[in-house]
Amino acid sequence: MLANAPRLMLVGRRLVQFVPVIVLATFVVFGLLKLVPGDLAATLAGEYATEERIAQIRESYGLNDPFLVQYGRWLWNAMQLDLSRSFQSNEPVLEQIMHRFPTTMLLVVGALLVSLVVGVPLGILAATNAGSRLDVAVTSLSSFGVALPNFWLAMILVATFSLSWGWFPATGAVRFGTDPAGAIWHAVLPSIALAAGGIAEVVRQLRSALIEILSSQYVRTLYAKGLSPSAILWKHGLKNVAVTLLTVIGLLASRLLGGAVVIEAVFAIPGMGSMVVRAAIVKDFPVVQGVVFTMVILVIAINLVIDLLYTIVDPRVALK
């Protein structure tokens, strides 16, 4: 069912788009890093460096080569899944990413789940009671959620649930593969903090889409045919907002990946976000490029999955 021609064409189109997106994103980041002031070789040489040592480092890392040569070399290696080694630790970048990827993903998936579990019922509640005090309360809360800085919420959560009550850990992370229960326990507060904006997003989008559907002519016809409000909502209303919900999930997943950077810093979580921040500070190009490369692939993959899900929820999409 999944492998029909329109869907294959959709996947093919996405894969063709993948190449320029990846080249453009990594090229821009590479260029921006080059624009950041400071000599990488002098930084790597450290506090005791002699001029000779700095020159030696510049030579051995190929920093004397023209910009395009440096970028081209990185891209060629990346295409062969060789993301080079960190300038700072000399560790293979791919290994570092694989080591940290599950931690960040647990955080993102957790935040996505919290956003949906809280956001969907609230969105339905607001839409089915549109104009009521409940609706005003929910929409006001969601506006608050959008405006709330997640690092601030994170600190409030830590102060309350970790420092005062001791229910959850204040910092750190446990690998899911080592201790699944411990990993989830550590991810609860960071996920909630990260999800604040997501909940608001889901509530607002779902509410407006559902209100539009519930006020459409075919729903009026359904009422006229004698269907109960709950049957209309569950059988017809929610089915028709599925595309909107998928779009929100797709956008949210990409946004949460970016938002994880701040949350990882507040909770001292050794994930990809904290890794890329530290690498950017010390101009560790291979690590920054590697993370950007991974993130771009991830975002493209998420979009591809969402597009495929569109075609299942609404087969007309693939034909378009």
Select the residue interacting with another protein from 15, 117, 268, 301 (CB under 8 A).
Answer: 268
> Which of these segments, 19-27, 85-93, 248-256, 293-301, binds another protein (CB under 8 A)?
85-93
Residue pair 168/89 in contact (Cβ under 8 Å)? The answer is: no
Closest Cα partner for 157 from 267, 269, 257, 272? Answer: 267
- Cα angle vertex 247, ends 242, 249, to 5°? 90
Question: What is the contact mask toward another protein in residues 40 to 79, using x (rule: CB under 8 A)?
Answer: x-xx-xxxxxxx--x-x-----------------------
Q: Which residues of 174-195 are buried (b: 16+ CB within 10 A; e: fewer)?
A: bbbeeeeeebeebbbbbbbbbb
DSSP label at residue 132: S
To 10 degrees, what angle do helices 93-128 and 133-147 make? 160
Min. distance of Cβ 131 from another protein in angstroms?
44
Under rule CB under 8 A, residue 91 binds another protein? yes
> Which of these segments, 70-78, 89-97, 114-122, 289-297, binds another protein (CB under 8 A)?
89-97
Touching another protein, residues 198-237 (CB under 8 A): none
Min. distance of Cβ 43 from another protein in angstroms?
5
Of 55 and 113, which has the nearer Cβ to another protein? 55
CA distance 230 to 116: 20
Of 82 and 95, which has the nearer Cβ to another protein? 95
Select the residue interacting with another protein from 86, 115, 191, 303 (CB under 8 A).
Answer: 86
CA distances from 139 to 143, 246, 293 (A): 6, 21, 37
Under rule CB under 8 A, residue 80 binds another protein? no
Of 104 and 303, which has the nearer Cβ to another protein? 104
Residue pair 272/101 in contact (Cβ under 8 Å)? The answer is: yes
Select the residue interacting with another protein from 89, 160, 215, 230 (CB under 8 A).
Answer: 89
Interacting residues of 73 by C-beta distance below 8 A, sequence separation 6+: 62, 65
Min. distance of Cβ 286 from another protein in angstroms?
13
* Binding interface with another protein (CB under 8 A): 36-40, 42-43, 45-51, 54, 56, 86, 88-91, 96, 99, 158, 162-163, 166, 169-172, 265-268, 270, 274-275, 278, 281-283
